[in-house]
Amino acid sequence: MFISGLLLLGSDYSYFPYVVPTEELTGLELGTGRYDSIYASRSTAMPLIDPPSLIWDTDTVFCADYEKSINAGNIDFSLSTISQLAVRRRKYGTFNWTTVCVRNIDSKEDLQFAGIDLFNAGNTDYEYALVPILNGAEGNYYIVSVHSDFDGIYIFDKNRMFGTTLDIKCSTSRKNSLICQTSLRNRYPRAIYNSSVNYDSGSVEAFFCRYDTARHAFHPDDSCSYRHELMDFLTDGRPKILKVSDGRMWLINVDGGSVSDNEGDHWQHRMTSFNWFESGDCLNECDLYDADLIDIDSEYWSYGG
């Protein structure tokens, strides 16, 4: 359809028999007419037939046949080409992806979902990818960049999380298998490494207090039971994730014998402290699965294993 030298969905001079550069199209408006369908494609080789083809392919931008709806998306097409959707994460500038979740796609409603990723470090740039999967074969990665940021310190597992922003001390040290061996005739000792053990350990001390998210206020006078729950959590013997706002994050186990609750400068100001050691890689899906922190099957792991 030509109107005053303009082709519908085209631009000035689009009736010329050669490609004419145009600005990017960001919108479409139809009016004062009757329309049976509308179709847009990235392919310049699409056949110009009447009636036009309304079949979705990889070049289709939108397609609407105006049968009982004005939907022009590819939900029906997507359902036939997707069996699962995976969400993956990696630190910006790195190569390896970590699978965040996998969702089975059986209906249109399954394409609409939301969640919270707890396994991201503070003060860190990430890339998240939405990955369509069909019978085990992955499609294109649709990637967005985000900046992760939070205040304070958090320790959590699959079911519970405790955190605070008050009076935080988190000290760390690096452990390895070094043995310093001396001999009778040598002035200097020899360094012997009996294994590849190389991990962090540390201690945490902080004022954990119940927080009212609705009023954005701490309640120290109502935190005794909260700290008791925290003590039970720290001594349950299960692996956990510990992360600090500056970007430090570990997969840890807590030394249950080191957990203490001490009075500070006021009877309501009680400091909780504990020692911990790194027991796995917090980015490794295999380690997270073995620690019962994720439920993702190994077939979807992209890094651990």
For the chain, give every domain's residue range: 32-73, 79-148, 153-293
Q: How confident is the model at residue 272 (pLDDT cuts 50, 70, 90)?
A: very high
Which pLDDT score is estimated for 12? 55
Taking residues 29-35, report their average pLDDT: 77
Class of CATH domain 79-148 = mainly beta
Instruction: Assess whether pLDDT exceeds 70 at residue 13.
Output: no
Tens-digit pLDDT profile for residues 146-168: 999 999 999 999 999 999 999 99
Q: How confident is the model at residue 15 (pLDDT cuts 50, 70, 90)?
A: very low
Tens-digit pLDDT profile for residues 195-251: 889 999 999 999 999 888 777 888 877 788 899 999 999 999 999 999 999 999 999
Rg (CA), the chain: 29
Q: How confident is the model at residue 72 (pLDDT cuts 50, 70, 90)?
A: low
The amino acid sitting at 103 is: R
Class of CATH domain 153-293 = mainly beta
Q: Which residue has the higher pLDDT, 305 or 105?
A: 105
What distance in Å separates the CA atoms of residue 146 and residue 124, rounded to the nearest whole number? 9
Nearest to 274 by CA among 213, 225, 227: 227
- Beta strands in the chain, from DSSP E residues, in sequence order: 2-3, 6-7, 38-41, 60-64, 84-91, 98-104, 124-134, 137-138, 142-148, 153-156, 161-164, 169-181, 190-206, 211-212, 217-218, 240-244, 249-266, 269-280
What distance in Å separates the CA atoms of residue 168 and residue 193, rounded to the nearest whole number? 35
Instruction: Assess whether pLDDT exceeds 60 at residue 278.
Output: yes
Q: How confident is the model at residue 19 (pLDDT cuts 50, 70, 90)?
A: low
Tens-digit pLDDT profile for residues 113-122: 888 899 999 9
Which residue's entry shows tokens 């990665």? 141
Q: Which residues contact 185 (CB under 8 A, 6 or more apart)?
A: none
Nearest to 97 by CA among 287, 301, 259: 301
Instruction: Assess whether pLDDT exceeds 70 at residue 76.
Output: no
What residues are paired with 92 via a beta bridge? none
29-38, 124-133, 221-230: which has the minimum mean pLDDT? 29-38
Which pLDDT score is estimated for 52? 64
Count CA atoms within 13 Å of residue 302 on its CB side.
17
Q: Which residue has the higher pLDDT, 86 or 107?
A: 86
Instruction: Assess whether pLDDT exceeds 90 at residue 144.
Output: yes
Helix (H) or strand (E) holding 271: strand 269-280
Mean pLDDT of the chain: 84
